Amino acid sequence: MQGSGVKVVEERELCAGRRFSLKRVVVEYEGRRFTRDLLEHPGSVAILPILQDGSVVLLRQWRPGCRCWLLEAPAGTIEPGESPEETARRELLEETGLAADELINLGSVYPTPGTSSEKMHLYAARAHPKTRPRPEEDEILVTVRMPFDRLYEMAIRGELLDGKTVLLALLARARGIA
C-alpha cells in the first residue's frame, strides 16, 4: 500500500544547509494536489549504551528546537559513506567516550514523517569506557550515568521529553536487553 496512487509531481530545493536541505514538494493523489515543505535528511542513529553493571549512559544536552535541556540517548546523523552501524559506534565514542562491544539492532523509525525524510536506526550497545567524550564543537552536553530501571521508570511516568530515548528504554525492556 506504501505510495499507492500517490505521485510526487514537483520538488524544489528552497534552502541547503551543512547536512540538511529544505524542499517544497508537490504531491498528487486522486486528482488533488498538495504542497508540503520537507526537511531532506540523510538518516540518523540513536544508541542506548548499557554498561557491564546494567547502568546506562545518557546525555543532558541543550537543544535549540525546544530551547531547553533534554535527557537523551546518544545520537547522530549518518555521514556520507557511513553505514548506520559505523555511525552508531562513532557517535557513541565521540559523545560518551564509550566503545561498543556489541551493537543490538532494535529496528528503525521515522521520527517526524510529516515534515522530514529522516529514518532513525535504533541500537542498544553493550559498552565499556575507552576514552573521554569528544563532542563536536557545537554540541552542548554532559554525560549522565544511571540505573536502567530509573530510566525505564522515567519513560513510563512521562518524565522524558525526548522520543528516541523513551522508545529505546521501552524496546530494551520489552526485548529483555536491559
Examine the pLDDT at 10 and tell me if it is beyond 60: yes
Give tens-digit pLDDT for 27-41: 999 999 999 999 999
Q: Please report, rounded to a whole number, the percentage of residues in the chain having pLDDT higher than 90.
A: 89
Phi-psi group of 19: left, alpha or beta (phi > 0 → left; psi -120 to 50 → alpha; rest → beta): alpha
- Across the range 78-89, mean pLDDT stands at 97
Number of helices and strands in the chain (H, E)? 3, 10
- Per residue, the 3-state secondary structure of 60-129, as one string, reads EEEECCCCEEEEECCEEECCCCCCHHHHHHHHHHHHHCEEEEEEEEEEEECCCCCCECCCEEEEEEEEEE
Q: Which residues of 141-155 are buried (b: 16+ CB within 10 A; e: fewer)?
A: bebeeeebeebbebb
Predicted confidence at residue 139, as pLDDT, reads 81
What one-character DSSP code corresponds to residue 149? H
Grid cell of 54 as nine digits: 546494567
Predicted confidence at residue 135, as pLDDT, reads 78
Q: Cα separation of 48 and 92, whole Å?
A: 9
Q: Cα separation of 88 and 111, whole Å?
A: 17
Banded model confidence at residue 8, pLDDT cuts 50, 70, 90? very high
Give tens-digit pLDDT for 133-149: 887 888 888 999 999 99
Examine the pLDDT at 4 and tell me if it is beyond 70: yes
What's the predicted TM-score (pTM) here?
0.92
Sheet holding 21-29, edge to edge: 6-16, 21-29, 32-40
